[in-house]
Amino acid sequence: MQANNLKSPATKSGFFSRWIGGQRAWETNLSLLTMALPGILLLFVFAYLPMFGIIIAFKDYRFVDGILGSAWVGMENFRFLFGTDTAFRITRNTLVMNSIFIATTTIGALLVAILMNEVYQSRMSKYYQTMLFFPYFISWVIASYFVFAFLNGSTGLANQIIERFGGDPPSWYRTPEAWPLVLTVAHIWNSIGFSSIVYLAGILGISPELFEAAKIDGAGKAAQIRYITLPMLYPLIIILVLLAIGRIFHADFGLFFFVPRDTPMLYSTTDVIDTFVYRSLVQLGNISMAAAAGFYQSTVGFVLVITANWVVRRINRDYSLF
Protein backbone atom coordinates (compact mmCIF):
# COMPACT_ATOMS: atom_id res chain seq x y z
CA MET A 1 0.00 0.00 0.00
CA GLN A 2 2.81 2.36 0.86
CA ALA A 3 4.60 1.47 -2.38
CA ASN A 4 1.49 2.35 -4.36
CA ASN A 5 1.19 5.65 -2.52
CA LEU A 6 4.84 6.40 -3.28
CA LYS A 7 4.34 5.77 -7.03
CA SER A 8 1.14 7.73 -7.26
CA PRO A 9 2.65 11.28 -7.17
CA ALA A 10 5.20 10.32 -9.83
CA THR A 11 2.46 8.91 -12.02
CA LYS A 12 0.35 12.03 -11.59
CA SER A 13 3.38 14.20 -12.23
CA GLY A 14 4.13 12.31 -15.45
CA PHE A 15 0.51 12.68 -16.62
CA PHE A 16 0.46 16.42 -15.95
CA SER A 17 3.87 16.92 -17.60
CA ARG A 18 2.64 15.13 -20.73
CA TRP A 19 -0.59 17.17 -20.69
CA ILE A 20 1.31 20.44 -20.30
CA GLY A 21 3.72 19.36 -23.04
CA GLY A 22 0.78 18.62 -25.35
CA GLN A 23 -0.77 22.00 -24.62
CA ARG A 24 2.51 23.77 -25.38
CA ALA A 25 2.91 21.83 -28.62
CA TRP A 26 -0.65 22.79 -29.62
CA GLU A 27 0.02 26.45 -28.86
CA THR A 28 3.32 26.32 -30.75
CA ASN A 29 1.74 24.76 -33.85
CA LEU A 30 -1.52 26.74 -33.69
CA SER A 31 -0.35 29.27 -36.26
CA LEU A 32 0.74 26.50 -38.62
CA LEU A 33 -2.56 24.66 -38.16
CA THR A 34 -4.46 27.88 -38.83
CA MET A 35 -2.51 28.41 -42.05
CA ALA A 36 -3.27 24.83 -43.14
CA LEU A 37 -6.98 25.08 -42.31
CA PRO A 38 -8.11 26.60 -45.68
CA GLY A 39 -6.25 23.88 -47.57
CA ILE A 40 -7.75 21.17 -45.35
CA LEU A 41 -11.26 22.56 -45.88
CA LEU A 42 -10.67 22.80 -49.62
CA LEU A 43 -9.47 19.21 -49.74
CA PHE A 44 -12.43 18.01 -47.66
CA VAL A 45 -15.06 19.86 -49.71
CA PHE A 46 -13.72 19.11 -53.19
CA ALA A 47 -12.00 15.73 -52.67
CA TYR A 48 -13.77 13.85 -49.87
CA LEU A 49 -17.39 15.04 -49.95
CA PRO A 50 -17.79 14.23 -53.69
CA MET A 51 -16.75 10.63 -52.95
CA PHE A 52 -20.36 10.06 -51.94
CA GLY A 53 -21.17 10.17 -55.66
CA ILE A 54 -19.22 6.93 -56.23
CA ILE A 55 -22.46 5.00 -55.72
CA ILE A 56 -23.70 6.41 -59.05
CA ALA A 57 -21.40 3.87 -60.73
CA PHE A 58 -23.54 1.10 -59.23
CA LYS A 59 -26.92 2.65 -60.07
CA ASP A 60 -29.07 3.42 -63.09
CA TYR A 61 -28.95 7.13 -62.36
CA ARG A 62 -31.98 9.27 -63.26
CA PHE A 63 -32.24 12.98 -62.55
CA VAL A 64 -35.84 12.73 -61.39
CA ASP A 65 -35.02 10.02 -58.85
CA GLY A 66 -31.75 11.49 -57.56
CA ILE A 67 -28.73 9.58 -56.35
CA LEU A 68 -30.42 7.72 -53.52
CA GLY A 69 -33.68 7.10 -55.37
CA SER A 70 -32.17 5.66 -58.55
CA ALA A 71 -32.34 1.92 -59.07
CA TRP A 72 -29.42 -0.17 -57.86
CA VAL A 73 -27.89 -2.21 -60.72
CA GLY A 74 -24.71 -3.43 -59.06
CA MET A 75 -21.91 -4.19 -61.53
CA GLU A 76 -24.08 -3.80 -64.63
CA ASN A 77 -22.39 -0.55 -65.71
CA PHE A 78 -18.98 -2.19 -65.43
CA ARG A 79 -20.15 -5.21 -67.45
CA PHE A 80 -21.37 -2.95 -70.22
CA LEU A 81 -18.14 -0.94 -70.12
CA PHE A 82 -15.83 -3.96 -70.25
CA GLY A 83 -18.06 -5.93 -72.62
CA THR A 84 -16.85 -3.88 -75.60
CA ASP A 85 -13.50 -3.10 -77.18
CA THR A 86 -13.78 0.47 -75.90
CA ALA A 87 -12.54 -0.37 -72.39
CA PHE A 88 -9.40 -2.06 -73.70
CA ARG A 89 -8.74 0.77 -76.16
CA ILE A 90 -9.07 3.64 -73.71
CA THR A 91 -7.11 1.77 -71.02
CA ARG A 92 -4.29 0.92 -73.42
CA ASN A 93 -4.08 4.45 -74.80
CA THR A 94 -4.16 6.06 -71.35
CA LEU A 95 -1.53 3.75 -69.89
CA VAL A 96 0.83 3.74 -72.89
CA MET A 97 0.67 7.48 -73.58
CA ASN A 98 1.08 8.50 -69.93
CA SER A 99 4.02 6.09 -69.57
CA ILE A 100 5.66 7.75 -72.58
CA PHE A 101 4.92 11.19 -71.10
CA ILE A 102 6.46 10.28 -67.73
CA ALA A 103 9.63 8.90 -69.31
CA THR A 104 10.18 11.66 -71.87
CA THR A 105 9.26 14.52 -69.54
CA THR A 106 11.50 13.23 -66.74
CA ILE A 107 14.51 12.78 -69.02
CA GLY A 108 13.91 16.06 -70.86
CA ALA A 109 13.34 18.06 -67.67
CA LEU A 110 16.50 16.67 -66.08
CA LEU A 111 18.53 17.56 -69.17
CA VAL A 112 17.11 21.09 -69.31
CA ALA A 113 17.63 21.59 -65.55
CA ILE A 114 21.28 20.52 -65.81
CA LEU A 115 21.83 22.87 -68.75
CA MET A 116 20.06 25.71 -66.94
CA ASN A 117 22.26 25.14 -63.92
CA GLU A 118 25.34 25.68 -66.09
CA VAL A 119 24.11 29.15 -67.19
CA TYR A 120 22.35 30.05 -63.92
CA GLN A 121 24.77 32.89 -63.20
CA SER A 122 24.30 34.33 -66.67
CA ARG A 123 22.12 37.40 -67.16
CA MET A 124 20.20 35.53 -69.85
CA SER A 125 19.18 32.71 -67.49
CA LYS A 126 15.95 34.45 -66.46
CA TYR A 127 15.05 34.89 -70.13
CA TYR A 128 15.67 31.19 -70.79
CA GLN A 129 13.55 30.18 -67.81
CA THR A 130 10.70 32.45 -68.90
CA MET A 131 10.71 31.11 -72.45
CA LEU A 132 10.69 27.51 -71.19
CA PHE A 133 7.98 28.16 -68.61
CA PHE A 134 5.70 30.22 -70.89
CA PRO A 135 4.07 27.26 -72.79
CA TYR A 136 2.80 25.92 -69.45
CA PHE A 137 0.30 28.81 -69.31
CA ILE A 138 -1.00 28.42 -72.87
CA SER A 139 -4.40 26.74 -73.10
CA TRP A 140 -4.69 23.55 -75.10
CA VAL A 141 -7.49 25.22 -77.04
CA ILE A 142 -5.01 27.78 -78.37
CA ALA A 143 -2.26 25.19 -78.77
CA SER A 144 -4.59 23.06 -80.90
CA TYR A 145 -4.74 25.84 -83.50
CA PHE A 146 -0.93 25.96 -83.57
CA VAL A 147 -0.83 22.20 -84.16
CA PHE A 148 -3.53 22.40 -86.83
CA ALA A 149 -1.67 25.20 -88.63
CA PHE A 150 1.47 23.08 -88.54
CA LEU A 151 -0.15 19.78 -89.64
CA ASN A 152 -2.86 21.06 -91.98
CA GLY A 153 -2.85 18.97 -95.13
CA SER A 154 -2.95 21.82 -97.64
CA THR A 155 -1.11 24.72 -96.02
CA GLY A 156 0.64 23.07 -93.04
CA LEU A 157 4.31 23.80 -92.52
CA ALA A 158 5.10 20.14 -91.87
CA ASN A 159 3.76 18.99 -95.24
CA GLN A 160 5.51 21.82 -97.04
CA ILE A 161 8.83 20.73 -95.54
CA ILE A 162 8.18 17.09 -96.49
CA GLU A 163 7.29 18.09 -100.06
CA ARG A 164 10.38 20.26 -100.36
CA PHE A 165 12.57 17.25 -99.58
CA GLY A 166 10.69 15.12 -102.08
CA GLY A 167 8.57 13.16 -99.65
CA ASP A 168 4.89 12.21 -99.79
CA PRO A 169 3.11 14.29 -97.11
CA PRO A 170 0.54 12.34 -95.10
CA SER A 171 -2.95 13.43 -94.13
CA TRP A 172 -2.22 13.89 -90.44
CA TYR A 173 -5.82 13.95 -89.25
CA ARG A 174 -6.50 10.65 -91.02
CA THR A 175 -3.34 8.88 -89.82
CA PRO A 176 -3.81 7.67 -86.20
CA GLU A 177 -0.38 5.99 -86.15
CA ALA A 178 1.35 9.39 -86.21
CA TRP A 179 -0.48 10.86 -83.24
CA PRO A 180 1.40 9.24 -80.34
CA LEU A 181 4.47 11.13 -81.56
CA VAL A 182 2.51 14.37 -82.13
CA LEU A 183 0.94 14.23 -78.67
CA THR A 184 4.29 13.40 -77.03
CA VAL A 185 5.96 16.40 -78.66
CA ALA A 186 3.05 18.64 -77.66
CA HIS A 187 3.19 17.39 -74.05
CA ILE A 188 6.96 17.93 -73.81
CA TRP A 189 6.57 21.44 -75.24
CA ASN A 190 3.93 22.24 -72.62
CA SER A 191 5.34 20.63 -69.47
CA ILE A 192 9.11 20.50 -69.74
CA GLY A 193 9.56 24.08 -68.48
CA PHE A 194 7.64 23.55 -65.23
CA SER A 195 9.23 20.16 -64.56
CA SER A 196 12.74 21.48 -65.22
CA ILE A 197 12.28 24.25 -62.63
CA VAL A 198 11.49 21.63 -59.99
CA TYR A 199 14.67 19.72 -60.80
CA LEU A 200 16.68 22.94 -61.05
CA ALA A 201 15.61 23.80 -57.51
CA GLY A 202 16.86 20.38 -56.42
CA ILE A 203 20.21 20.93 -58.14
CA LEU A 204 20.63 24.35 -56.52
CA GLY A 205 20.06 22.69 -53.14
CA ILE A 206 23.13 20.47 -53.56
CA SER A 207 26.11 21.66 -51.51
CA PRO A 208 28.65 23.51 -53.73
CA GLU A 209 31.42 21.95 -51.65
CA LEU A 210 30.75 18.59 -53.34
CA PHE A 211 31.37 20.07 -56.78
CA GLU A 212 34.46 21.95 -55.57
CA ALA A 213 35.93 18.76 -54.11
CA ALA A 214 35.18 16.95 -57.39
CA LYS A 215 36.97 19.68 -59.36
CA ILE A 216 40.02 19.38 -57.11
CA ASP A 217 40.07 15.64 -57.78
CA GLY A 218 40.01 16.36 -61.52
CA ALA A 219 36.40 15.44 -62.27
CA GLY A 220 34.94 17.08 -65.37
CA LYS A 221 31.36 18.23 -65.92
CA ALA A 222 30.19 14.82 -67.13
CA ALA A 223 31.67 13.08 -64.08
CA GLN A 224 30.15 15.66 -61.73
CA ILE A 225 26.72 15.12 -63.26
CA ARG A 226 27.05 11.34 -63.13
CA TYR A 227 28.48 10.96 -59.63
CA ILE A 228 27.06 14.00 -57.80
CA THR A 229 24.08 15.66 -59.49
CA LEU A 230 22.07 12.59 -60.49
CA PRO A 231 22.63 10.58 -57.26
CA MET A 232 21.64 13.60 -55.17
CA LEU A 233 18.49 14.01 -57.27
CA TYR A 234 17.42 10.35 -57.01
CA PRO A 235 14.99 10.92 -54.09
CA LEU A 236 13.32 13.86 -55.89
CA ILE A 237 13.12 11.94 -59.17
CA ILE A 238 11.58 8.89 -57.51
CA ILE A 239 9.01 10.95 -55.57
CA LEU A 240 7.92 12.84 -58.70
CA VAL A 241 7.72 9.62 -60.72
CA LEU A 242 5.66 7.93 -58.00
CA LEU A 243 3.27 10.87 -57.93
CA ALA A 244 3.02 10.72 -61.72
CA ILE A 245 2.31 6.97 -61.58
CA GLY A 246 -0.52 7.72 -59.17
CA ARG A 247 -2.16 9.75 -61.95
CA ILE A 248 -1.15 7.51 -64.83
CA PHE A 249 -4.81 6.66 -65.46
CA HIS A 250 -5.79 10.35 -65.44
CA ALA A 251 -4.98 11.70 -68.90
CA ASP A 252 -4.69 15.38 -69.78
CA PHE A 253 -8.18 15.97 -71.19
CA GLY A 254 -7.27 19.18 -73.02
CA LEU A 255 -4.32 17.53 -74.78
CA PHE A 256 -6.22 14.45 -75.96
CA PHE A 257 -9.47 16.23 -76.83
CA PHE A 258 -8.51 19.60 -78.35
CA VAL A 259 -5.19 18.87 -80.06
CA PRO A 260 -6.58 15.96 -82.20
CA ARG A 261 -9.75 18.08 -82.56
CA ASP A 262 -11.91 15.16 -81.36
CA THR A 263 -11.54 13.44 -84.72
CA PRO A 264 -13.28 10.01 -84.67
CA MET A 265 -10.80 8.63 -87.20
CA LEU A 266 -8.02 9.12 -84.60
CA TYR A 267 -9.80 7.44 -81.68
CA SER A 268 -7.71 4.27 -82.00
CA THR A 269 -4.66 6.14 -80.63
CA THR A 270 -6.05 9.34 -79.06
CA ASP A 271 -9.15 8.17 -77.19
CA VAL A 272 -8.43 7.90 -73.45
CA ILE A 273 -10.52 7.40 -70.33
CA ASP A 274 -11.12 11.11 -69.77
CA THR A 275 -12.34 11.77 -73.32
CA PHE A 276 -14.54 8.67 -73.16
CA VAL A 277 -16.11 9.89 -69.91
CA TYR A 278 -16.72 13.30 -71.48
CA ARG A 279 -18.44 11.83 -74.54
CA SER A 280 -20.48 9.50 -72.33
CA LEU A 281 -21.78 12.53 -70.47
CA VAL A 282 -22.27 14.98 -73.33
CA GLN A 283 -23.20 12.78 -76.29
CA LEU A 284 -24.81 9.76 -74.63
CA GLY A 285 -25.96 11.37 -71.40
CA ASN A 286 -25.02 8.15 -69.57
CA ILE A 287 -23.93 9.43 -66.17
CA SER A 288 -23.79 5.95 -64.62
CA MET A 289 -21.31 4.63 -67.18
CA ALA A 290 -19.20 7.77 -66.90
CA ALA A 291 -19.11 7.29 -63.12
CA ALA A 292 -18.14 3.63 -63.58
CA ALA A 293 -15.28 4.61 -65.89
CA GLY A 294 -14.12 7.26 -63.42
CA PHE A 295 -14.29 4.81 -60.51
CA TYR A 296 -12.28 2.27 -62.49
CA GLN A 297 -9.76 5.00 -63.35
CA SER A 298 -9.24 6.05 -59.74
CA THR A 299 -9.10 2.52 -58.35
CA VAL A 300 -6.43 1.32 -60.78
CA GLY A 301 -4.41 4.50 -60.24
CA PHE A 302 -4.51 3.93 -56.47
CA VAL A 303 -3.37 0.32 -56.86
CA LEU A 304 -0.53 1.37 -59.16
CA VAL A 305 0.87 4.02 -56.82
CA ILE A 306 0.70 1.60 -53.85
CA THR A 307 2.45 -1.10 -55.90
CA ALA A 308 5.13 1.27 -57.21
CA ASN A 309 5.78 2.61 -53.71
CA TRP A 310 6.06 -0.97 -52.39
CA VAL A 311 8.65 -1.80 -55.06
CA VAL A 312 10.66 1.34 -54.27
CA ARG A 313 10.41 0.58 -50.56
CA ARG A 314 11.81 -2.90 -51.15
CA ILE A 315 14.76 -1.45 -53.08
CA ASN A 316 15.51 1.54 -50.83
CA ARG A 317 13.29 2.42 -47.88
CA ASP A 318 14.51 6.05 -47.80
CA TYR A 319 13.23 6.77 -51.30
CA SER A 320 9.62 5.62 -50.74
CA LEU A 321 6.68 7.97 -50.16
CA PHE A 322 5.41 6.09 -47.10
Determine how β-strand 59-60 pairs with β-strand 71-72: antiparallel
pLDDT band at 6 (very low <50, low <70, confident <90, very high): very low
| pLDDT (tens digit per residue) in 24-70 | 677 777 888 888 899 999 989 988 888 888 888 899 888 888 888 88
- Within 10 angstroms of residue 106's Cβ, the number of other Cβ atoms is 17
d(CA 168, CA 151): 14
SS3 286: coil
Percent share of the chain, pLDDT over 90: 26
For the whole prediction, is pTM greater than 0.95? no
Q: In which element (H, E) is residue 7 found?
A: helix 2-43
Long-range contacts of residues 301-304, Cβ cutoff 8 Å, at least 24 apart: 301/246, 301/247, 301/248, 301/249, 301/250, 302/246, 304/245, 304/246, 304/248, 304/249
Q: Are 108 and 98 in contact (CB under 8 A)?
A: no
Determine phi and psi for 286, rounding to 5 degrees.
-90, 90
Nearest alpha-carbon partner for 252 in 88, 86, 38, 102: 102
